[in-house]
Amino acid sequence: MKVSVQERDFDLSAEVAAISKSKAVGAVASFVGVVREVPMTLEHYPGMTETAIRKIVEEAGSRWQVMDCTVIHRHGALQPGDQIVLVAVASAHRGDAFAACEFIMDYLKTQAPFWKKEHRPDGARWVEARASDDHAAERWQGAPRKKAS
């Protein structure tokens, strides 16, 4: 497992290649979040951020077959079109890879301590959390916990 909170950009193909080396890996699902329209600054809680993401990945590993996983989240100043976040999950089959990737992303949105500040022409403002993000994370609570094969 690799968890990194960093200012620098990341290379999707290199990260996917790094978790695809095992011959048992048959599926890699990845998600990349991109800055939309407005420049922003991302603040985080150093130390807690990494711990929170690791816990989410471990929880995903207890529900689905996760052979390897990389989560990279950037902080600092970001421009429209910049990559913000990467979640990549390697598994034997696509079902586990897709589900674990989406689960990690949904929980990251509500549990990992990041805050976005948008810089608009009329001034800067902190982005408000959306109830839809809480709902996205909550829908996993009733989801099966056993590992699919």
Q: Pick the closest to residue 18 from 9, 28, 8 (CA basis).
A: 28
Alpha helices by DSSP H, the chain: 12-18, 48-63, 94-111, 131-138
- The count of other CB atoms within 10 Å of the CB of residue 72 is 23
Site string for another protein, 129-148 (x = CB under 8 A): x---x---------------
Stated as kind and residue range, the H or E segment containing 120 is: strand 114-120
Nearer to another protein among residue 120 and residue 147 (C-beta): 120
Cβ distance 65 to 148 under 8 Å?
A: yes
- Least gap, CB of 82 to another protein (angstroms): 14
Among 30, 113, 119, 140, binds another protein (CB under 8 A): 113
Nearer to another protein among residue 11 and residue 134 (C-beta): 134
- Least gap, CB of 148 to another protein (angstroms): 25
CA distance 91 to 136: 23
Residue 112 interacts with another protein (CB under 8 A): yes or no: yes
- Least gap, CB of 133 to another protein (angstroms): 8
Question: Binders of another protein among 32-51, rule CB under 8 A?
Answer: 33, 42-45, 47-48, 51
